C-alpha cells in the first residue's frame, strides 16, 4: 500500500511523538509498504492560531500524489487528524489538551473572553467531525481513549506502541535518579528538583531540553544542591542508553500524561520507575511495588520513594526485571497487524 503518516511538527523540537512517527514509517516500510511522513509546522499560540493551523491540514489533498492514489492515511495527534481522506485511520497520541482537561489550569490556553470560549468550543466541534470521519480509531493508552470518549462520545481501541530502539542494558543500580524527556511544566521535573531539596542524599541526572531548563538550573543553584542535579541536555542514543544502564531508577511523573515511552525504556534497562498518583498514562504501566513505586505528588513522597529503592536493592532489581518482562510484550509486529487489519 501507499501510506501517508501524518504528524504535526514544532520546528526544532523532537520528542516522543516525533520518535513514534518516524519509527512507524520505518516499521511500515520494513513490511514493504510505500510510506511517507507528511508534516506541517505547528504553532498553537496565540489562541486564534489553533484553528488556522488545523485548517491547513483540512486543505491538504492526500488522496493522490504524482498521479498515483494514496491508499491510506494514518494520523497521529492534533491537528494532523483533521486531514480529509476516504481511508483515514487515527492512532491518537492526544487531542489539543488545552481545549479539554487543561482548560482553566496553569497549562491552559483559552481565556475567559467570549472569543476565547468560542475558540475552545470550535476546537471541540472540529474534533468531533474530524475524528468521527476515521475508519478506525486507536489510542495509545486507556487514558487517551477515556478522554476521547468523554469529550466526543467516540470509542477508541487501545493500542500502545513500543518504545524507541536503544542498546538497552543494565550495568548497575547506581547512585543517581534519571529523568528523561522534554523539560516543560507539564513534565514536572521541578518536583524532582524539590525532592532533592527534601533529601540531601539524593542525586539526579536530567536528560532533555525544553523551555523550563534554564529556570530549573537556576532553581537548583538557588537551593544549593551543590551539583546533585545535573542537566545533561539533549543526549545521543548511546549516551541515553548508558544513563539508563547506570541509574538507580527512573523518575517519570508528568501531569496526567497521555502515555509516555519513558517507563518502557526504563523497563528494558531493568530499572524501576517512580511515578505519582496523578500521572495519568504511566499508571497503566507502573504497578506499585510491582514494576516501581507510585507515590503522592509531593517532594517528600518522591524523595522517600527513591530512598526506599536505594535501601532495598533486591526489590529494586525485582521491580526492574518485572518491568522488562512487561515491556518485551510490546512488539511492532502485533501493533501493525492490529493497525492494518
Low-confidence spans in the chain with pLDDT less than 50: none
> 2-159 domain in CATH 3.40.50.2000?
yes
Residue 126 CA to residue 130 CA, distance in Å, equals 6
Residue 120 CA to residue 111 CA, distance in Å, equals 9
Alpha helices in 223-312 (DSSP H): 237-246, 262-268, 299-311
SS (H, E, C) 168-197: CCCCCCCCCEEEECCCCHHHCHHHHHHHHH
Taking Cα atoms as reference points, which of 7, 169, 150 lies closest to residue 80? Answer: 7
Q: Are 92 and 144 in contact (CB under 8 A)?
A: yes
DSSP letter at 103 equals T
pTM above 0.85, yes or no: yes
Sign of CA dihedral 184, 186, 192, 193: positive
Question: Across-strand partners of 98?
Answer: none
Q: Where in the chain is the domain with CATH 3.40.50.2000?
A: 2-159, 177-327
> How, if at all, do strands 34-41 and 2-9 pair?
parallel
> How, if at all, do strands 64-65 and 68-69 pair?
antiparallel
- How many angstroms from the chain centroid is the CA of residue 339? 19
Residue with cell 506499585: 288
DSSP letter at 257 equals B
The CATH classification number of 177-327 equals 3.40.50.2000
Question: Across-strand partners of 204?
Answer: 177, 229
pLDDT at 12: 87
- How many angstroms from the chain centroid is the CA of residue 165? 16
pLDDT at 13: 83
List the strands of the sheet with 229-233, edge to edge.
Answer: 229-233, 204-207, 177-180, 249-251, 273-276, 292-295
Amino acid at each position: 500500500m501507499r501510506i501517508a503518516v501524518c504528524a504535526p511538527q514544532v520546528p526544532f523540537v523532537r520528542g516522543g511523538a516525533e520518535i513514534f512517527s518516524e519509527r512507524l514509517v520505518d516499521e511500515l516500510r520494513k513490511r514493504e509498504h510505500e510510506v511517507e511522513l507528511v508534516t506541517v509546522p505547528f504553532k498553537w499560540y496565540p489562541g486564534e492560531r489553533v484553528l488556522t493551523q488545523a485548517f491547513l491540514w483540512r486543505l491538504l489533498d492526500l488522496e493522490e500524489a504524482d498521479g498515483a492514489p494514496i491508499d491510506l492515511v494514518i494520523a497521529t495527534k492534533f491537528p494532523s487528524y483533521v486531514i480529509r481522506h476516504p481511508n483515514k485511520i487515527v492512532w491518537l497520541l492526544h487531542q489539543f489538551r488545552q481545549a479539554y482537561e487543561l482548560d482553566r489550569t496553569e497549562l491552559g490556553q483559552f481565556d475567559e473572553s467570549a472569543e476565547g470560549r468560542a475558540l475552545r468550543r470550535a476546537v471541540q466541534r472540529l474534533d468531533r467531525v474530524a475524528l468521527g470521519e476515521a475508519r478506525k480509531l486507536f489510542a495509545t493508552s486507556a487514558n487517551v481513549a477515556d478522554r476521547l470518549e468523554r469529550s466526543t462520545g467516540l470509542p477508541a481501541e487501545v493500542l500502545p506502541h513500543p518504545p524507541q530502539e536503544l542498546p538497552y542494558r543494565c550495568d548497575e543500580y547506581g547512585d543517581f535518579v534519571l529523568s528523561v524527556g522534554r523539560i516543560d511544566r507539564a513534565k514536572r521535573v521541578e518536583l524532582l528538583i524539590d525532592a532533592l531539596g527534601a533529601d540531601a542524599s539524593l542525586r539526579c541526572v536530567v536528560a532533555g531540553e525544553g523551555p523550563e531548563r534554564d529556570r530549573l538550573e537556576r532553581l537548583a543553584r538557588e537551593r544549593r544542591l551543590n551539583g546533585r542535579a545535573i542537566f545533561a541536555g539533549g543526549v545521543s542514543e548511546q549516551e541515553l542508553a548508558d544513563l539508563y544502564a547506570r541509574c538507580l531508577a527512573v523518575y517519570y511523573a508528568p501531569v496526567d500524561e497521555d502515555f509516555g515511552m519513558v517507563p518502557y525504556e526504563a523497563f528494558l534497562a531493568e530499572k524501576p520507575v517512580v511515578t505519582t498518583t496523578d500521572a495519568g498514562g504511566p499508571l497503566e504501566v507502573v504497578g506499585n511495588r510491582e514494576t516501581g513505586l507510585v507515590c503522592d505528588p509531593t517532594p517528600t513522597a518522591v524523595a522517600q520513594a527513591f530512598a526506599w529503592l536505594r535501601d532495598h536493592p533486591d526489590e529494586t532489581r525485582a521491580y526492574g526485571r518485572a518491568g522488562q518482562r512487561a515491556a518485551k510484550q510490546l512488539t511492532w509486529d502485533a501493533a501493525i497487524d492490529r493497525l492494518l487489519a
